[in-house]
């Protein structure tokens, strides 16, 4: 296995021009400004401070751009991580979240080094749609507390407990908070339509406009609503301290499962984002390099107080639309975030949490592929089951369990379909093919030929048993025409060996013909071809019938 570590940035610098530099800088500033409200909103929704979200965007975003395998990938905290991170914080605390992120980074780095980037694409689209829509619902529900200003100290991470607590505190809804939340939500939901009629809004990111307008309204009207300053004390106007998280060695065992969840989701979302970006800029990303960059970024972010990061589809698409074509745009995006923190951090204290919750709710609505539910009737029942089971398991229980169950169901349905496609049909031999030597005196054939279709594997090997049905007669030679058999596994091989042994007990010979390369290779390596003998493996059916004719003639002469 050849090791390769070559960031996309190196390829882009060969013919880098001043004109492209201007486009990248403009796109990077645009995305950096867009990333500010999203980083704070996603962090607060995840149960951590907005400072952690911003530094995740700065550190992880910088490393993903410098070391990644995509030209335009923008990294940072994303909405998909909200239910996962929130659950880890509630169950294990913020320090252990940093430890889980470090472990996830190591796993992602290992996946990239092992060149497993292409394997992520094997996850069926039904599973991806199911957990994406499920995460969107979980994110939406997680914002109800801040959206309505409910007086709840801690919202449970578990679905049913969360609904119970929200319902019990519904009467504590705060009118000023609800008014501001609804106004920001409606404004952002219809922002794109509004921007079509107002020219000055077309180039301004919707979340940033809502953040500024919502903050101004709350400040000018002196609305009694929670802000970043009242809950978190604002955002420090300084660089964070650098160091390893104070995670006990005894805690690492319980962090393995959360780390696996972060790594799995990070790999899926980053490579999905890179693939979407490829279509926008007509390029092809390196999935293994991207996973290595994601791993390094998630190892580094916790050292600066950040948490889980991955490729962000919305910000990456914005980067491509704004003219970014190289990782330089991603670097500028991170530097823009850094400049905002160092210059304008005190202003963040006035940002209402209601405005941020409205932004996250709209993100949740936009990230879900809701049209897939309307189109379910067009697809097979197996497609519907996999998608719906993954969706409900994500909402009700856990993303890891949902993906695992979705993959198991997908595999089972695939095995069922492949088994259904595998057929063994009896070939009707003409009188010219048989001749007098291959028939008994009463005209019944002494030779039976069968055609195999598809794949003879563990899910279909039982179909060989019908060849031993006594109602089909007792031929002296059985020929298996395997010209249309494309795959044979060890279970199928064992089935052929059992068939050979059962036929031998009946004094019946087994002949094979028309073997393709993969089945022939397995038969040769296993020694079964030697057991049959070269005189029992033929090029085609005609050749096998000729041999059967000669064998029966020789048998008649000996008798």
pLDDT at 313: 85
pLDDT at 299: 97
- Per the CB < 8 A criterion, the answer to whether 126 and 406 are in contact is yes
pLDDT at 443: 59
pLDDT at 433: 61
Domain limits of the chain? Answer: 19-323+331-407, 423-558
Please give the Cα distance from 302 to 355 (Å, whole number): 27
- Cα radius of gyration (the chain): 32
- Per the CB < 8 A criterion, the answer to whether 357 and 146 are in contact is yes
Please state whether beta strands 75-76 and 537-538 pair in parallel, antiparallel, or not at all (unpaired). unpaired
pLDDT at 434: 62
Q: Distances from the Cα of 234 to the Cαs of 51, 166, 213, 238, 341, in angstroms?
A: 8, 27, 19, 12, 11
pLDDT at 158: 84
CATH: 3.30.60.50, 2.60.260.20, 3.30.750.24, 3.40.50.10860. Which one for 423-558? 3.30.750.24
Spell out the residues 6+ positions from residue 221 whose beta carbon is closer than 8 angstroms to its own. Answer: none
What does the H/E/C string look like for 326-371? CCHHHHHHHHHHHHHHHHHHHHHHHCEHHHHHHHHHHHHHHHCCCH
pLDDT at 436: 63
Spell out the residues 6+ positions from residue 478 whose beta carbon is closer than 8 angstroms to its own. Answer: 447, 448, 449, 450, 467, 503, 508, 509, 510, 511
pLDDT at 344: 85
Q: Which of 180, 139, 148 is nearest to 166 (CA)?
A: 148
H helices present in 397-539, as ranges: 399-421, 431-434, 490-505, 517-526, 528-532
pLDDT at 441: 60
Residues of the chain under the 70 pLDDT cut = 1-3, 200, 202, 430-438, 440-444, 556-559
pTM for the model: 0.80
């Amino acid at each position: 296995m050849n090791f390769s570590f070559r960031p996309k940035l190196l390829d882009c610098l060969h013919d880098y021009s001043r004109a492209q530099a201007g486009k990248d800088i403009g796109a990077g500033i645009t995305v950096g400004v867009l990333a500010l409200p999203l980083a704070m909103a996603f962090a607060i929704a995840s149960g951590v401070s907005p400072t952690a979200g911003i530094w995740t965007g700065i550190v992880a975003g910088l490393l993903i751009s410098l070391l990644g395998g995509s030209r335009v990938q923008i990294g940072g905290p994303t909405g998909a991580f909200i239910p996962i991170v929130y659950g880890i914080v509630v169950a294990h605390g913020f320090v252990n979240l940093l430890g889980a992120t470090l472990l996830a980074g190591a796993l992602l780095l290992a996946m990239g080094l092992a060149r497993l980037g292409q394997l992520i694409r094997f996850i069926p689209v039904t599973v991806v749609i199911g957990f994406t829509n499920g995460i969107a619902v979980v994110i939406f529900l997680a914002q109800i507390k801040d959206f309505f200003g409910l007086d709840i100290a801690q919202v449970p991470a578990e679905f049913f407990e969360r609904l119970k607590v929200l319902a019990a505190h519904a009467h504590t809804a705060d009118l000023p908070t609800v008014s501001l939340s609804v106004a920001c939500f409606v404004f952002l939901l219809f922002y794109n339509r509004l921007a079509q009629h107002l020219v000055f809004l077309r180039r301004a990111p919707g979340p940033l406009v809502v953040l500024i307008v919502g903050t101004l309204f709350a400040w000018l009207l002196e609305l009694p609503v929670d802000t970043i300053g009242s809950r978190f004390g604002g955002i420090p106007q300084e660089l964070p301290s650098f160091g390893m998280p104070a995670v006990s060695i005894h805690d690492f065992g319980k962090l393995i499962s959360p780390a696996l969840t972060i790594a799995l989701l990070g790999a899926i979302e980053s490579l999905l984002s890179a693939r979407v970006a490829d279509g926008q800029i007509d390029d092809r990303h390196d999935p293994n390099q991207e996973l290595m960059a994601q791993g390094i970024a998630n190892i580094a972010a916790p050292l600066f107080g950040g948490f889980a990061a991955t490729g962000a589809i919305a910000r990456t698409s914005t980067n491509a639309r704004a003219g970014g074509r190289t990782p330089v745009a991603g670097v500028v995006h991170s530097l823009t975030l850094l400049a905002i923190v160092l210059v304008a951090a005190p202003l963040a204290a006035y940002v209402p949490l209601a405005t941020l919750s409205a932004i996250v709710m709209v993100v949740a609505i936009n990230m879900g592929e809701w049209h897939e539910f309307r189109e379910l009737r067009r697809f097979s029942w197996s497609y519907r089951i996999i998608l719906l089971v993954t969706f409900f398991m994500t909402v009700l229980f856990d993303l890891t369990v949902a993906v695992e169950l979705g993959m198991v169901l997908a595999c089972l349905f695939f095995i069922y379909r492949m088994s259904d496609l595998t057929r063994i049909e009896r070939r009707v031999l003409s009188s010219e093919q048989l001749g007098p030597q291959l028939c008994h005196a009463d005209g019944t054939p002494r030779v039976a030929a069968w055609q195999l279709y598809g794949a003879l594997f563990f899910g279909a090997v039982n179909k060989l048993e019908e060849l031993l049905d006594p109602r089909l007669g007792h031929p002296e030679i059985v020929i298996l025409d395997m010209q249309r058999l494309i795959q044979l596994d060890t279970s199928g091989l064992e089935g052929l060996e059992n068939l050979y042994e059962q036929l031998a007990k009946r004094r019946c010979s087994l002949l094979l013909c028309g073997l393709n390369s993969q089945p022939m290779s397995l038969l040769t390596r296993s020694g079964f071809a030697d057991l049959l003998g070269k005189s029992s493996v033929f090029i085609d059916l005609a050749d096998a019938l000729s041999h059967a004719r000669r064998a029966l003639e020789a048998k008649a002469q000996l008798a």
